[in-house]
Amino acid sequence: MSETRQRSTIRIVGSAMLAALLSGCAGFGGDVSLPANAPRVVGQERDRDHERLVAAFGGEGRAPQLQRLLNDVTNRLVMATDRPDEAYQVTILNSPVVNAFALPNGRLYVTRGLLALANDSSEVAAVLSHEIAHVTLRHASQRSELQARSALIKRVAENVLNDAEEAAVVQSQARSSLASFSRAQELEADQVGVRVLARAGFDPYGAPRFLTALGRVSTGSDSPGADRIASHPSTRERISRALQAARQASAPESDAPGRLEYLTALSGLSYGDDPADGVVKGRRFIHARLGVAFEAPEGFTLENTSQAVLGASADGERRLLFDAADTPNGQSLEDVLRSTWTDTIEPGSLVPTTINGLPVVTALSNGKEWTFRLSAIRIGNTTYRLIMAVRSGAGDLENIFQRTLQSVRQVQPEEARQIRPLKLQIVTARPGDTAQSLAERMPVDRALDRFLLLNGLERSGPLRVGERYKVVVE
C-alpha cells in the first residue's frame, strides 16, 4: 500500500467491486489496447501513457546492469522478427508480482517479480518474445472488444488522478496481466515467440522452462477452479505446446545458456515488497512509514498492492481489504464509512469503540452474495478501513473480523527501524550444501519452498557443487 495512496479516498462498490478487486492471478502474456492507429514508434506522444502505467505498478525498477541485458535481449529478438525495423523499449516495473505485458506502440514491461523467477537469459527472452509477438501479430487491433479495452489507459490515468472506483478496477485487471487475449491469440503468441527465440540464437526450451516456473507460482493453476482467467489456455497446455514448438525449432535441450550472465545481472535486485509501500510477512502486514500493522486470520494469504492490502482464504469464500483514506478535517469515523461504502449499511449497526488505544467505528452491510463487516480506524491524521467479507452462508464472519480488527495497531519507531529491504544474492554451492541449508539463510516465510521456486528446483533434486543459486537476503 503506497504512502501516496493514503491521500486517496477509495470507494468500494459493495460486493461486486470487492470481489473484482480480490480476484486475479499473476502471469505474463498481455497487451494493453490502444487505438488501432496508435504510433508504432515509441515517442513523446506516448510518454504520458507510459508514466501512468509505471505509476500504477509501483514505479520504475532501477537495475542498470539488468536493464542493459534486457535491452540487448530485446534487440536480438526484434532483429529475428518479420518486422526488424520496428522500435521497442523495455521497462522494469517495481512490483513483486510476476507479470509482463506490452503496449501496441512498442513499450514492453516486465516486473522485478518476473525477473527474479527467471533463471537464465533464454527464459526472460522467452517472455519478451511472447510479448513482442502480441505486438507484431497486431492482436490488439484484431479483437472485437478493442473499443472497450482502449479505455484502459484512461482508466489508469484516472487511477493516478484518484478516481478510486476506477483504481480498483485497474488494479484487478493489472494483476491479471491487464487485457486478456483470447485463448487462440495466447497460443499463437507462444508459438511465434518460440520460433523467434530460436531464430535469435536463444534456447527455445527457455519458454517451457519459464512457463513451468510460472505454473508453480500460480499455486496449482491447473487444479479445478484455480485457472481464473478463462480466456487464457491452462499453463499445462501452454507448456505442452511450447515444448512441441521448441523441438521443432532446435536440437534437444541443453544446459541453459546465458545462466551465469543473467544471474550476475540479477544479483542485488530488490525482492518482495518495497518497504516504502509496506511489507507482508506471512499473515502480517506492517508499514513502517505509515506506522500501521495488522494480522490476517489463519488460512488467509495477503497481497500488498499500491491501492490496498488484499487478502483471501484458500477457497475464496472469505476476503479482506485494508486501505487508507484521506478524510476532511473533522470528519467523523461514522461519516467515513457512510461516504466510502456505496452499498447499504444496516441501520443501527454503526458502533464506536476503541482498539489498542485507537478510535474505531464498525458497521455491517449485507449484499446479495456477500456479507461485510466494515471498520474505520484513526491513527494520527490518517484513517484506515478494514473490510472483511464472507460469501453468504459461509459463517464465522464476526469471529474473523473481530480477531483481525483487534490486531490493528500503531507501529513504534524502534520496530519500524528493524524493517529492512530484501534483495537477491547469488551464491555458489559448496560441498555439503543442500537446498535446505541455503534456504535457512533466507529471512522469508516458507524459505525452502521459496528457494526451490526461485531456482527452478524440485524438492528431491540435489544441488550441483560449483553451480550458482539465488537466495534472498536482507
Higher pLDDT, 321 or 273: 321
Q: What is the spatial distance between Cα 197 and Cα 257, in angstroms, rounded to a whole number?
A: 13
How far does Cα 105 stand from its chain's mean position?
23
Half-sphere exposure of 238 (CA within 13 A, CB side): 35
- Sign of the Cα torsion 222, 224, 228, 234 reads positive
Q: Give the Cα separation of 283 and 281 in Å (integer).
A: 6
| pLDDT bracket for residue 175 (50, 70, 90) | very low
| pLDDT of amino acid 30 | 53
d(CA 204, CA 247): 8
- pLDDT for the residue 130: 93
* Residues contacting residue 425 through CB under 8 Å, at least 6 positions apart: 267, 268, 470, 471, 472, 473
Length of the chain: 474
Q: Which amino acid is at 19?
A: A
Instruction: Take residue 257 and report the three cell numbers written for it.
Output: 545458456
Alpha helices in 120-205 (DSSP H): 121-136, 139-142, 146-149, 152-160, 164-175, 183-199
Span 101-144, pLDDT tens digits: 888 888 999 999 999 999 999 999 999 999 999 888 765 554 43
Domains parsed from the chain with CATH numbers: 6-260 (no CATH), 276-417 (3.40.1000.10), 422-473 (3.10.350)
Q: What is the pTM of this model?
A: 0.70
- 40-49, 214-223, 246-255, 349-358: range with highest mean pLDDT: 349-358
Average pLDDT over residues 318-339: 88
Q: Per-residue confidence at 426, pLDDT binned at 50, 70, 90?
A: very high
